[in-house]
Amino acid sequence: MHNIENNRIELKESISLVMGNMIGAGIFMLPVSLSKYGSISILGWLISGFMALILANIFKRLSIKYPGESGPFYYTEKSFGQFVGFFVIWGYWISILLVNASLAIAITSYSTIFFSKLDIISFSLPFAITIVVIIGLLNLSGIKKVGRFQFITSFLKILPLILTIFISFIVFDISNFTPINISQETNFEAITVTTALTFFAFLGIESATIPADKIKNPERTIPKATIIGTSITFFIYLLSSIAIFGIMNPSEISVSNAPFADAIGIVLGDYGRGIIAIFAIISGIGCLNGWTLLQIEIPKNLAKKRLLGRIFSDTNSNGVPYKGLIISTIIVSGLIGINYTKDLSNIFTFLILTSTFCTLILYFFISLSEILIAFKNKNNISSYYKSLITGIPAFLFSIWMIIGVGYESIISGIVLLSLSLPIYIYQKKYARHK
């Protein structure tokens, strides 16, 4: 029991897990994807950030209602049954694999500042896969070391974002914000797409709820970590995004492989540009580290319920499901290879939208679960209205965002989600009887 307790993380590591999984290389690459829409994307940040806080409150209440349970699967299973729980968490696992592929690509993109040959596929592809493998090896050491690494990188990664905010006060150019919408889309269409893109940066709201069995005092720690981590992240995102538009105009951002580094470089030169790129790479590595933890925890939890093969639950001496780590690392590497027919920024945009779609399925059912809980607790007026006030907006937002990610990502996501059906049938009818 003593060893188990020593291998659990506390509040600061839990907050860093939430923040670290949200603040990754994504925020450092998103300005490129948003630049073709112009400063109207700031509205996308405001909407997605507000909804992230609403979802954080939902996860907070669910973690209090079901203390010690491993997050999204248990929450959806309680409201909709085992198959829906499996379908939703399968999609969420797929989204994590896609996130990790996109993070490796984003890290590679920022690394082009130091290694120009990484613009060539024959160099960038093995480089991105090597990053995934190294982080996988780090996760073999157990959650305590992963948590410490996450805490350090979470602190380091916010430094360039804060520096960008301060630098913008020196060279802020308001003309970069006009016209507000520079795309060919209507304002509503532009807001829809930019909200979907920016919402990707908030994926990870639920991070602290998943390794519940590895967190000290989860009934108190998880709710606090979820709200604190999401709130801090929202303000950093919003201010740094306004700052980068104040430093660079959209046409300059659109051709950049490393927009935050280039923005700082305008003021501090190549020296400052290189430093920011290093921090952005550290940010991406830290984020990849946190998501890799969830990447192996989810199939482990499913395997314990006999919904995936036992191979995913086999652990090493540090309690890490090492076989599941090997399998998932191979899958992420494959996803990177499959998508390398596009350039770095286009691969990144496609992967994040498909990942966002798969995660939105989870948020759709979680918000619907919140509404159902409200109707079950009609006698408790306070709880009833709190659940409705958060559940209904989150439910409608999820539908809006699912539409907003675009047909290509929806079709890709549906294909990936549909794989859950034969796996579930096999596990229920055949594997469980062996």
The span from the CA of 326 to the CA of 316, in Å, is: 12
With a pLDDT cut of 90, the percent of the chain lying above it is 18
Number of residues written out for the chain: 434
Give the integer Cα–Cα distance in Å for 296 and 292: 6
What integer pLDDT is reported at residue 344 of this predicted model?
A: 53
- Is 80 exceeded by the pLDDT of residue 363? yes
According to DSSP, the residues that pair with 9 across neighbouring strands are: 215
pLDDT in tens, 254-296: 888 778 888 888 878 877 778 877 887 888 888 888 888 888 8
pLDDT in tens, 211-252: 656 677 777 788 888 888 888 889 888 998 899 899 998 888
Q: What is the pLDDT of residues 400-428, one digit of tens each?
A: 988 888 888 899 889 989 999 999 998 88
Nearest to 293 by CA among 150, 87, 151, 130: 150
pTM reported for the whole predicted model: 0.80
CA separation for the pair 262, 272 (Å, rounded): 9
Q: Which of 64, 84, 65 lies closest to 73, judged by CA?
A: 84
Phi, psi of 9 (to 5 degrees): -100, 155
Domains of the chain with CATH codes: 2-433 (1.20.1740.10)
Residue 174, judged by CB atoms within 10 A of its CB (0-12, 13-18, 19+), counts as exposed
According to the model, what pLDDT value does residue 109 have? 81
pLDDT in tens, 31-73: 888 888 999 999 999 999 999 999 888 888 887 777 666 667 7
Find the radius of gyration of the CA atoms of the chain: 21
Residues 151-160, mean pLDDT to the nearest whole number: 79
| Cβ contact 325:97 at 8 Å | no
Peptide bond into 179 cis (omega under 30): yes
pLDDT-derived band of residue 342, with 50, 70 and 90 as boundaries? low
Letter string b/e over residues 178-204, b meaning 16 or more CB atoms within 10 A of that residue's CB: eeebbbebeeeebbbbbbbbbbbbbbb
Question: How far apart (Å, rounded) are the C-alpha atoms in residues 158 and 66?
Answer: 32
- Strand pairing partners for 215? 9
Answer whether 337's CB lies under 8 Å from 351's CB.
no
How high does pLDDT run on average in the chain? 83
pLDDT at 90: 92
C-alpha angle 394/196/415, rounded to 5°?
Answer: 90
- According to the model, what pLDDT value does residue 433 have? 46
Lowest mean pLDDT among 21-35, 239-253, 305-319, 379-393: 21-35
